[in-house]
Amino acid sequence: MLIDSHCHLDFPCFDYDRQNVIEKCSGLGIDTIVVPGTEASSWQNIIALSRQFTALKPAFGLHPYFLAGFEESHLDELVVYLDKYKSTVVAVGEIGLDRAISVDISLQKRVFERQLDIAHEADLPVIIHHRRSHNDIIKTLKHLKFSGGGIIHAFSGSLHEALTYQDLGFKLGVGGLITYPRGQKTRKVVGQVPLDLLVLETDAPDMPVFGQQGKRNTPENIPMILAELASLREESADVIALQCRQNVLAVLQNITTV
């Protein structure tokens, strides 16, 4: 069975066919979908959906994209949510740093660091968003001595960065980028690193696979990403699928095998 370790199935673009998408995923062998939060206002809906659909596993976090509406009280709310739903939440996320957006980087760093502290206090892993920020993120993780591990979402860094994250207790999210000819650097890295470092993800509805540019991405594309990953490695798709599943179970909380 397959896990999509990063999918925003709570977004409104899935409101009209969410159940159908989940049923199709089940038919494809995808039985678990991690749904990271992006802003405080999204968390309650994610919990409601995870109660409606057992395949969905919730995470709560403040994404750098959405900090324009940030209020200090959101960090207090995060603490409350993590405690209230501690038997359900799988990670603190999606959090991180993005130097490709206009949101003030000092605000991003402050919120990111505070969320790492909150995750540490809650004994939870984190799901980290990055863009042009690997050095910042690695420096912050080391400075705070964060030991909770987690997933580096949509990894696109160097082999050295990949192995550094491994040393810090993280797995690397592998998604649609590897299906693109322009993704040669990432394709090469995911073909070289130890298999126990990788997890599968879609980031749906964003980051569509090659050939579906401009269309809504969906967790149904996990088998396509798996097939592409298998073409870059020596292991079979079945071996990769099993190991990637075990990698998610090893790093996130409250996901049990079936």
Strand 56-60 with 126-131, pairing: unpaired
Q: How confident is the model at residue 256 (pLDDT cuts 50, 70, 90)?
A: confident
Q: Is residue 56 part of a domain?
A: yes
Query: Residue 157 has what pLDDT?
Result: 96
Q: Is residue 143 part of a domain?
A: yes
pLDDT at 85 over 80: yes
The pLDDT tens digits for 202-248 are: 999 999 999 999 999 999 999 999 999 999 999 999 999 999 999 99
Domains identified in the chain, total number = 1
Cα–Cα distance measured from residue 204 to residue 206, given in angstroms and rounded to the nearest whole number: 5
Q: Is residue 205 part of a domain?
A: yes
Q: Is residue 182 part of a domain?
A: yes
The pLDDT tens digits for 101-112 are: 999 999 999 999
First to last CA, the chain: 9
Closest among 126, 89, 46 to 255, alpha carbons compared: 89
Cα–Cα distance measured from residue 78 to residue 84, given in angstroms and rounded to the nearest whole number: 10
Cα–Cα distance measured from residue 48 to residue 24, given in angstroms and rounded to the nearest whole number: 21
| pTM for this model (two decimals) | 0.98
Instruction: Print the domain residue range for 53.
Output: 2-251
Q: 60 is written with which tokens?
A: 């709560």
Is 114:75 a contact under the CB 8 Å cutoff?
Answer: yes
Q: What is the CATH number of the domain that holds 65?
A: 3.20.20.140
Q: Is residue 256 part of a domain?
A: no
The pLDDT tens digits for 124-178 are: 999 999 999 999 999 999 999 999 999 999 999 999 999 999 999 999 999 999 9
Q: Is residue 257 part of a domain?
A: no
The pLDDT tens digits for 15-52 are: 999 999 999 999 999 999 999 999 999 999 999 999 99
> What is the torsion angle, in degrees rounded to the nearest 10, for the CA atoms of residue 62, residue 133, residue 104 and residue 128?
0
Q: Is residue 258 part of a domain?
A: no
